[in-house]
Amino acid sequence: MKIAVLPGDGIGAEIIAQALNVLKRLDLSLELEEAPVGGAGYDASGDPLPEATLRLAKEADAILFGAVGGWQYDQLPRAKRPEQAILGLRKHLGLFANLRPAQVYAELASASALKPEVVAGLDILIIRELTGDIYFGQPRGIQKLADGQREGFDTMRYSEGEIRRIAHVGFQAALKRGRKLCSVDKANVLETSQLWRDVVIEVGKEYPDVELSHMYVDNCAMQLVRTPKQFDVIVTGNMFGDILSDEASMLTGSIGMLPSASLDANNKGLYEPIHGSAPDIAGKDVANPLATILSAAMMLRYSLHQAGAADRVEAAVKRVLKDGYRTADIFEAGAKKVGTKEMGAAVVAALG
């Protein structure tokens, strides 16, 4: 099994190193090949998604991705910015289904900004469509109006086929969990959302065992902090999912805890923590590597079909949290404060 390892920028290299230490401990025959991406790709070859990196990603069985972005790249033209690498990978590889689970570990319930009783035991899965919507819709641009001022515009669009395939992912996931699916849209205002809702309802007829509900995105943003445990699986479009998944991450105490999988139609996937490159703490050995380690566990489960190994990694993460190890982002008085490397080493040790 070949894995493309793309650490990227900022804290990317540090957190990926810890995930690799965990993977290497599992007695699986994994071929790990590294390549630059994002700002690192731009520095190496003038392109955030170098051709060789894209080729490697295409031929690998799975991709383990760190994070991209950094202040030194902020002034580059959009096509050269680090974020284009992740958007390009998603598009080129057809990674349309983004799975972002948000679980509250019992030990971290008090690390959440919400009251422990609101989040304790929370286990939700946000499924975000990842290759359509206003992120990729054409036309887009900045144009000159007749009166001389500039106007920016983007196009929100979804075809029936795009909605149908992500709806199936949502229903299938719900079947394996609590059998509840909440589809999030803005059908009271947007045509795109009206079609989204109509198609999700149609697809829902094939899943009589799943309880389907619909919610407007603004209400969902509110419900997520009011009673997050009402949700099981949420399915939504690219832009709404981007926003709601950041919000959901905070229910768990830290964005440093959330893994993600981005899958194509055959379950080939790219796995990344949902947090960014955090340039402010890069190189300081303080970043939380758990989201990346948990992303590696998702990779084992979904693309490499090694459910046993995935269980082992997830159990090891629970173990270190139980044993009181905490990086700065989840630190509480009385816990053992550790850096990136120590946290990674603790997980390796807990693998047994």
Query: Could you say which of 74, 198, 218, 323 is catalytic?
Result: 218
Binding-site string for ligand IPM from residue 136 to residue 175, where x marks contact by CB under 6 A and - marks none: ----------------------------------------
Asked whether 193 and 225 are in contact (CB, 8 A), the reply is no
Question: For residues 310-329, which are near ligand IPM according to CB under 6 A?
Answer: none
The piece of 35-43, 80-88, 148-156, 316-324 that touches ligand IPM (CB under 6 A) is 80-88
Give yes or no for residue 86 binding ligand IPM (CB under 6 A).
Answer: yes
Query: Could you say which of 123, 242, 264, 285 is catalytic?
Result: 242
Smallest gap from residue 243 Cβ to Mg ion (A) = 8
**Which string of DSSP letters, residue by residue, matches 220-282?**
HHHHHHH-GGG-SEEEE-HHHHHHHHHHHHHHTT-GGG-EEEEE-TTS-EEEEESS---GGGT
- The identity of residue 262, as a single letter, is S
The piece of 35-43, 82-90, 101-109, 248-256 that touches ligand IPM (CB under 6 A) is 82-90
* Closest C-alpha among 48, 51, 53 to residue 76: 48
Nearer to ligand IPM, 57 or 86 (CB): 86
Beta strands at 259-263 and 123-129: parallel, antiparallel or unpaired: unpaired
285 is annotated as an active-site residue: no
Cα 259 to the center of its chain, rounded Å: 6
CA 190/CA 257 separation, integer angstroms: 33
Candidates 87, 190, 328, 335: give the one binding ligand IPM (CB under 6 A): 87
Beta strands at 150-153 and 141-144: parallel, antiparallel or unpaired: antiparallel
Candidates 43, 83, 123, 154: give the one binding ligand IPM (CB under 6 A): 83
246 is annotated as an active-site residue: yes
Residue owning tokens 């050995």 = 285
Q: In what order do the strands lie in the sheet with 2-8?
A: 31-34, 2-8, 62-67, 269-273, 259-263, 97-103, 123-129, 233-236, 180-185, 211-216
Smallest gap from residue 303 Cβ to ligand IPM (A) = 18
Smallest gap from residue 98 Cβ to ligand IPM (A) = 8
Helical pair 12-24 and 340-350, crossing angle rounded to 10 deg: 20
Smallest gap from residue 90 Cβ to ligand IPM (A) = 8
Smallest gap from residue 100 Cβ to ligand IPM (A) = 8
- Residue 87 binds which one of Mg ion, ligand IPM, none, with CB within 5 to 8 A depending on kind? ligand IPM
80 is annotated as an active-site residue: no
Question: For residues 259-288, which are near ligand IPM according to CB under 6 A?
Answer: 274
Nearer to ligand IPM, 90 or 312 (CB): 90
- Using alpha carbons only, give the angle 132, 39, 136 rounded to the nearest 5 degrees: 10
Query: Could you say which of 246, 264, 337, 341 is catalytic?
Result: 246
280 is annotated as an active-site residue: no
Cα 158 to the center of its chain, rounded Å: 21
Candidates 43, 61, 154, 242: give the one binding ligand IPM (CB under 6 A): 242
Tell me the number of residues near ligand IPM by CB under 6 A. 5
Helix (H, G, I), strand (E, B) or coil at 149: coil
CA 349/CA 352 separation, integer angstroms: 6
218 is annotated as an active-site residue: yes
Tell me the catalytic residues.
Answer: 135, 186, 218, 242, 246
Binding site for ligand IPM (CB under 6 A): 83, 86-87, 242, 274
